[in-house]
Amino acid sequence: MTTPAAEYVTGHRIRDMHEDERPRERLLAHGPSSLSNAELLAILLRVGIQGENAVMMAQRILTTFGGLPGLARTSAKELGEIKGLGEAKACQLLAALELGKRLAAASPQDRPVIGSPADAANLVLVEMGLLDHEQLRVMLLDTKNRVHDISTVYKGAVNSAQVRVAEVFRDSIRHNHPALILVHNHPSGDPTPSRDDIRVTKDIVQAGDLLGIQVLDHLIIGQQRFVSMKERGLGF
């Protein structure tokens, strides 16, 4: 389980932190799985910019591109235009992400397996809980509930008027994935499902039944908390 990331304040340089809080030292002491996505990226970035340490900079990059899936789809040119990133750092990040994708493709047995709502939530809880806007993401699963990809479908209001069912199932149909899990966040930090959340879920579950694609759950992410709509019987 990932240990909580250290608290980072504006202008706080990583080298000035206590050794137990520094990403590199935490990795050496507890292993890479103990670090958040932002901390892992910070190790690649090495340094931040004035008023923003490497971890803060990494979190800004993740938020800008919608997390690791969005970052992995970004071009070197787009990434190089981010404040504090040049061509060299952009290439470093994209090379690391490409290695991760190739490893996942070569070793499908090592992909995360979802056995419970908590397994799915833990993949996105820290990152999505920090977003200042709503996002709807789709976890694409195979017949053994292994996660093949997490794609961002919507940014902005997630409601029945905005969400097009065809967009939700597009990648599942394209890549022949038999199941998916919906995930979206509440920037307020309160993961309590709304009426719109329930309506959207019902529509998507019904469409999945028609398409032969199983919607296993819809998770609502708050700040360090989540709600499984399947467990609560809402929309299922």
The pLDDT value given to residue 77: 85
Q: At what angle do helices 37-45 and 54-65 cross, to 10 degrees?
A: 120
Given pLDDT bands bounded at 50, 70 and 90, which one contains residue 12?
A: low
Q: What is the mean pLDDT of residues 196-212?
A: 94
b/e code 50-67 from CB counts within 10 Å (16+ = b) = eebbbbbbbbbbbbebbb
> pLDDT-derived band of residue 7, with 50, 70 and 90 as boundaries?
very low
What pTM does this model have? 0.58
If you average pLDDT over residues 7-16, what whole number do you get? 50
What is the per-residue pLDDT across 14-40, written as a single tens digit (0 to 9) for each? 555 555 567 788 888 888 877 888 888
Instruction: Give the pLDDT score at 147.
Output: 92
Q: What is the pLDDT of residue 232?
A: 96
Residue 4 has pLDDT above 50, yes or no: no
Q: What residues does 184 pair with on adjacent strands?
A: 136, 220
Q: What percent of the chain has pLDDT over 70?
A: 86
Please tell me which of 79-88, 90-99, 220-229 the model is most confident about, judged by mean pLDDT.
220-229
User: Per mean pLDDT, which of 16-20, 99-103, 152-156, 191-195 is the most reliable?
Assistant: 191-195
The span from the CA of 151 to the CA of 142, in Å, is 15
Q: What is the pLDDT of residues 111-138, one digit of tens each?
A: 789 999 999 998 888 888 888 889 999 9
Q: Give the C-alpha distances (Å, rounded to integers) separating 84 from 33, 93, 211, 219, 232.
A: 26, 13, 45, 34, 44
pLDDT of residue 49: 79
Can you give the pLDDT at residue 110?
Answer: 65
Q: Where are the alpha helices (DSSP H) in 132-217?
A: 165-174, 195-211
For the chain, list the domains and their CATH numbers.
14-106 (1.10.150), 117-232 (3.40.140.10)
What is the model's pLDDT at position 107?
57
